[in-house]
Structure 1
């Protein structure tokens, strides 16, 4: 029973880390990154479709994202979706290719992005601690319902705490790396 609780905790905590990495990957850091487009969807034949399913996305230069739609009919829908997104970048196109030129970030913009990165990190830490609390509650419920010893319960709670500490350290490393990436010119 305890092993199952620990396994579920690991899975949930890993998902939290993956979600943080995905969120941070979509934040612009002054250089082109295809992950910036991951959350953008365009209306294509009446359905909202992710851009990576409508076009080839490449990085020909460090500050340019090139989007080449597979179907010319999706061209206007992709441009419209980019304009409506929170990217704040105007697409330029030549009929064959849509280009997004990533502007250099100002010091103030960098600081605002770092604030958002730190907030995402704190939100992830809260999620990890919430998972720890849920697991501890399940372990305490086991204590009442089964014949587990106090030592087994204590060891399980210590295991949960160690895992929590390790995941929080990993979140700190990820946030620090993203902060350095953003603040480097």
Structure 2
């Protein structure tokens, strides 16, 4: 495994963590809250964002307008069944979701959830590091690399790991601040 490939995999882990953070409510309407909602559409689970246009008419409302008006009921049901804790208002053509302000207990829950997502991202990065270092050690054992080259590569891999773990820590700090801001 080459260093650019390792770095690319670590970037992907950071991006996945960022996407996970975007699904956490902060008290403001954000279309990415609905990224995980799957709708049972003609027998197959389909992401909501591919069945409807999602907009934010104001800071506390999400408007969902299905491309197929006949799917309004299944979209509404999918939102109710999701773990968002939001009740959809259906007016016959558009579903509106009112995003209530978060209570302090709910904010603490979301901060914990963000911490869990951050830890999953860090574990993913550490797994990439472990696999890469194992590969380097294997090459050193097979005499494909000298001890110095092996040590240099392992140091480079560790520096990449530290860099991307720090990025996740920064993302977590920003998300915690976002959640905690009333």
1:111-130 matched pairs, under 5 angstroms? 111-130=108-127
Gaps of 5+ in 1: none
Superimposed CA distance per residue, residues 33-82 of structure 1 (whole angstroms, 9 cap, x where no aligned partner) = 11111111111122211111111100000110000111111100000000
1:146 positional shift? 3.2
Distance 1:48 1:140 in 2: 44
Distance 2:42 2:24 in 1: 29
How many residues are matched? 182
2:136 corresponds in structure 1 to 139
Gaps of 5+ in 2: none
Normalised by the size of structure 2, how large is the TM-score?
Answer: 0.96
Could you tell me which of 31, 46, 67 is aligned with 1:70? Answer: 67
SS of the equivalent of 1:30 reads coil
Contact 1:5 1:138 in 2 (8 A): no
Which one is further off, 166-175 or 113-122?
113-122
1:79-98 matched pairs, under 5 angstroms? 79-98=76-95
SS of the equivalent of 1:27 reads coil
Could you tell me which of 162, 169, 174 is aligned with 1:172? Answer: 169
C-alpha RMSD of the superposition: 1.0
Superimposed CA distance per residue, residues 127-163 of structure 1 (whole angstroms, 9 cap, x where no aligned partner) = 2112111111000000022342211111100000100
Task: Point out 4+ residue stretches in structure 1 off by more than 2 angstroms.
Answer: none
SS of the equivalent of 2:2 reads helix
Normalised by the size of structure 1, how large is the TM-score?
Answer: 0.95
1:13 positional shift? 0.9
Distance 2:6 2:37 in 1: 31
